[in-house]
Chains A and B, each alone.
Chain A
């Protein structure tokens, strides 16, 4: 078993090494134009130059603020909508298919309308990211709250719990795992859609800078930006996964 794990790690490292080696070889041998794929050291140099500039930190700050606003709005609206809809089975059956059906349409389609309504500044990206993230959060809130055990609800009510008490001590804990999935999915959708929105039409931000570097054919700088985004996303993903694992473990123990 132990040697298996070692072999698997070796394969994974070998895969990364081969990918990196192929990148280095393809660029240094001139098989691929530097315009499409600059050498790894050129990208590294561009990235270290980029990190030292004000332009970089301005763009990161704008994008982070946009994501924070969009995600915050999506959480409030999504959880509230999910709570209101699940107050009765009737309204849940009415609304859940509408929300789920709307979510199967790529909301990116409506991006030009966001630009039309909210302009080309960060406002349109906030609205776009919030709209995209609203759906998974609302749908998972509905799924989580609808799964709460009727017996607990009745017990809490018969012991005189207020509406808020019921929400705080029964509904929220039982919906929490599913809700957490929604928040996770919502966050990454929000992250990607803000970046995408910035690349599609904007005047500032990380996504805009990637698109700008591509338009100017400054490949090394474009790859430097992409590297930064990919590293950020992957480390965020690892962070969220480890938090989730810890929560799952803690829940397993309390049961």
Chain B
């Protein structure tokens, strides 16, 4: 029984789900209208522009400039590659560490220690070592994404019910059977928590590095627009990246729903990863 359960089933003659969704959209549309009005009536045009001007700037110059479209495509590629690497390497390391109690107790503290390092402080180092191109951004995104995968895979393998394991063994299951039929299925929810977190972190890493390296790519254009007080294309460029981010997140969510039907994990709020038992 939660504090908020005493709510009516209908609001103004609508089912409450629909009323909630309607209000939510009304707030979003209202906020967009307020920004438009603010941009038209009050704002200094060198700092803010109405949404309609931003939309025009999105068509031209953002989408009509080959270099910008190329830079956006490059960012998508970097995120995808860094994410793929994070999953593969993270799952491998996670399974190696989570495979036995001994390995977990030995190596998990080291992983958590590395995870606790604020990686932004290493950003200049990544650029120094990997150069100004895509490699440093992919490496930086990977270094952000791999830790949540490791930690959640380890946590997921630990989640196995010992009773199930004992049953498996007493019925003559091999170690491979154990992994295939007990450990992996139990690991899936926690694994997806890691995948979702890894997506957020990978994007953070790639975008941080993109903005830091201002000699080319997205960082160059954001810097040019910001320094020339030209907010409409700046907002349009940021908006395109936000759309890319939302698309990547939805992709993960769709995959989750496909592979884990009927289970809606609630651990969305747990961002530390390390805290998941």
Contact = CB atoms under 8 A, between A and B. Distances in A.
Interface in A139-196: 139-140, 143, 145-151, 153, 171, 178, 181-182, 184-185, 188-189, 191-193, 195-196
B118 interface: yes
A230 interface: yes
B91 interface: no
Interface residues of B, number: 63
A112 B226 contact: yes
Interface string B122-140: 1111011100000000000
B270 A207 contact: no
Given A113-B234, A113-B235, A104 B246 contact: yes
B226 A115 contact: yes
Interface residues of A, number: 78
Contacts of A25: none
Interface stretch (A47-55, A73-81, A91-99): A91-99
Contacts of A46: none
B50 to A, nearest CB: 15
A229 B245 contact: no
Residue in B4, B106, B121 whose Cβ sees the most chain A Cβ within 10 Å: B121
B271 A136 contact: yes
A66 interface: no
B231 interface: yes
A90 B226 CA distance: 40
Interface string A1-40: 0001101100110011000000000000000000110000
A185 B242 contact: no
A191 B11 CA distance: 43
B40 interface: no
A213 interface: yes
B31 to A, nearest CB: 9
A36 B129 CA distance: 6
Given A89-B4, A104-B200, A116-B226, A188 B118 contact: yes
Contact of B1 (A90, A151, A223, A234): A151
Given A8-B105, A98-B27, A210-B124, A90 B203 contact: no
Interface of A: 4-5, 7-8, 11-12, 15-16, 35-36, 86, 88-90, 92-95, 97-98, 100, 104-106, 108-113, 115-117, 136, 139-140, 143, 145-151, 153, 171, 178, 181-182, 184-185, 188-189, 191-193, 195-196, 199-200, 206-207, 210-211, 213-215, 217, 219, 222-223, 225-226, 229-230, 233-234, 237
26 contacts: A11-B107, A12-B107, A89-B6, A94-B20, A94-B24, A98-B24, A104-B246, A109-B238, A112-B226, A116-B229, A136-B271, A149-B2, A149-B3, A150-B3, A153-B3, A178-B269, A184-B272, A192-B119, A192-B120, A206-B121, A210-B121, A211-B124, A215-B124, A230-B121, A233-B116, A233-B118
